[in-house]
Structure 1
């Protein structure tokens, strides 16, 4: 289960196999124009890429937008629908089943792949032992305090998932998998609603089907959450994911912060950190983000634990879909 950084891969070898990019979309009408622009800007040979954009039962005009894009864009776009199962993993499976590429690449509708994303991401597959390649996820510059906090923590970065104490994995916002590997491991669990990226990577790596490589220069950009409600939803989902992966793979559960420790850290923040950070802010040696680090961190930890505690893995989420021959 090797994980290495292939950022310096020499692309002069011009390894350009046929690839399929699968993107699940739910109510993504407002994101699609920018997304398509990013796909148009890819340096990968256009005739060797197909984009399978899968509408997951949206209530907006996502699918009609996809049909229009497929008709008028100079890249190969296939609009698909997954209306039976409300899950991004079911939508990804729909795209994989329709894909004709040797390698399947994943990102999301609200991501913004940078121009050399595909070109760089695919290069490690030149080595036959490579099963999975993950690229980096970086944030857009934000003025919002919550977004700045998340950026300081590098919340989106693959470096957290690639160093997961149980086993490394890559997030589907920027991930590629060899098609022949999916024939052996199976696809995503279609009824799983979170944690599916870790699950599929772990199934591949634990079965010793190949290695995982990281390409730090293959970048997609993503936006941080900018409201308390969005932040809470994000960290509650992280908690649910942890519970599901505990039941599927035996991952350690996150511990709850005892009330005594919680209030001690909060009091310490009020009595010690606020005065110290306030002085640093006045002397421009610190920022408001540093001042709020402790309370936001405590908030997200509690929300994540709450999500973990409340979650229960549905029985049908254990189903692994197979790749049709």
Structure 2
């Protein structure tokens, strides 16, 4: 029987329905099943997920096996556990909410056989007719230069650069860190646009943008490790960040005016804060249906986002002892 030559690594955490769809998409690969294996690394270490993997493997004939993390460590650690357990020279990474298209693996394998060391595929994210602010932000994944949702590496490359940095313990910037380590090692990265995965957008609660602000702390860690590449390749959104700081400072000025009974300072501080909040709110409502739900969500997120963004940026700077912009 032919031995597998490529291993697909899928980190997962409490999303069994999405994981099943991902595995069923891998069942549709044109590459013969005996030439690839699938390793599902469960950050939740749930018996139900192990049973799901075994069930799909039995039904489809996929060479799929389960690894459970003893404690939740994040996708970087899960991917490391997966590729280190692999028995093949080539490693493919995707996520449990992605749907690899039928030619995904075969296209990449052709490039590997021609000598490629690292390949990045193409991500498609079908958008709804009226995408929310969160949808638009998430859809930036389509144009990202290097994402682990669609990535192929020779195992030797991962061994050379040390794999993923497990200090990135949520799904944010761990792919950029690996990207920058590969660049520093002078290992060529090739684009493989015919290796396609579909990443369906999932509905998100109105507060999702507020929850996502915590990701800003990891920008400090990425900057500390790779300052030159961070400045060169990570979008700064400089003026948006300046507006966030200005919003926080102006509100503080307004309260200082109240404490000192200085009406002029009160007026300046609160007026500037209100204007900045209204501008942000109008941006959140752009191309959205105007109704009570969208207005409420835009108002609440516009009020809270500047403060959460500044907090997590400063938290990261102090945690990793680095000042970054």
TM-score between the two structures when normalised by the length of structure 1: 0.71
Provide the rounded CA distance (Å) in 1 between the counterparts of 2:158 and 2:218: 22
Shift of 1:92: 0.8
Q: Residue 102 in 1 paired to residue 89 in 2?
A: yes
Match of 2:208 in 1: 230
Provide the rounded CA distance (Å) in 2 between the counterparts of 1:158 and 1:57: 28
Which segment drifts farther, 203-212 or 130-139?
A: 130-139
SS at match of 1:228: coil
Contact 2:6/2:36, CA 8 A, preserved across alignment: yes
Q: Report the aligned-residue RMSD.
A: 3.6
Shift of 1:207: 1.6
CA separation of 1:298/1:127 partners in 2, compared to 1, >3 Å: closer, same or farther?
farther
Match of 1:13 in 2: none
Q: Residue 136 in 1 paired to residue 112 in 2?
A: no
SS at match of 2:207: helix
Provide the rounded CA distance (Å) in 2 between the counterparts of 1:243 and 1:178: 29
Q: Residue 48 in 1 paired to residue 32 in 2?
A: no
Contact 1:256/1:305, CA 8 A, preserved across alignment: no
Q: Residue 309 in 1 paired to residue 319 in 2?
A: no
Provide the rounded CA distance (Å) in 2 between the counterparts of 1:53 and 1:136: 22
Identify which of 14, 19, 25 aligns with 1:27: 14
CA separation of 1:157/1:272 partners in 2, compared to 1, >3 Å: closer, same or farther?
closer
Structure with bigger gyration radius: 2
Superposed counterparts of 1:1-325, under 5 Å: 18-59=5-46, 61-84=48-71, 86-128=73-115, 130-142=116-128, 147-152=131-136, 155-159=139-143, 161-162=144-145, 170-193=146-169, 194-215=172-193, 218-237=196-215, 239-250=216-227, 251-252=230-231, 255-257=241-243, 258-259=246-247, 263-267=274-278, 288=289, 303-311=308-316
CA separation of 1:81/1:121 partners in 2, compared to 1, >3 Å: closer, same or farther?
same
Provide the rounded CA distance (Å) in 2 between the counterparts of 1:80 and 1:206: 31
Provide the rounded CA distance (Å) in 2 between the counterparts of 1:112 and 1:273: 29
CA separation of 1:32/1:256 partners in 2, compared to 1, >3 Å: closer, same or farther?
same
Q: Deviations over 1:251-294 (max 9, x none)?
A: 357644212676445445789998xx7xxxxxxxx6538x9899
Provide the rounded CA distance (Å) in 2 between the counterparts of 1:156 and 1:271: 21
Q: How many residues end up aligned between the 2 structures? A: 276
CA separation of 1:210/1:70 partners in 2, compared to 1, >3 Å: closer, same or farther?
same
Shift of 1:203: 0.4
CA separation of 1:40/1:298 partners in 2, compared to 1, >3 Å: closer, same or farther?
farther
Provide the rounded CA distance (Å) in 1 between the counterparts of 2:202 and 2:77: 25
Contact 2:120/2:189, CA 8 A, preserved across alignment: no
Bigger proportion of residues as helix: 2
Shift of 1:297: 8.2
Contact 1:43/1:115, CA 8 A, preserved across alignment: yes
Provide the rounded CA distance (Å) in 1 between the counterparts of 2:44 and 2:319: 21
Q: Deviations over 1:50-85 (max 9, x none)?
A: 001111134572122223333443111011122145
Provide the rounded CA distance (Å) in 2 between the counterparts of 1:270 and 1:205: 39
Shift of 1:183: 2.2
Provide the rounded CA distance (Å) in 1 between the counterparts of 2:278 and 2:308: 20
Shift of 1:312: 6.0
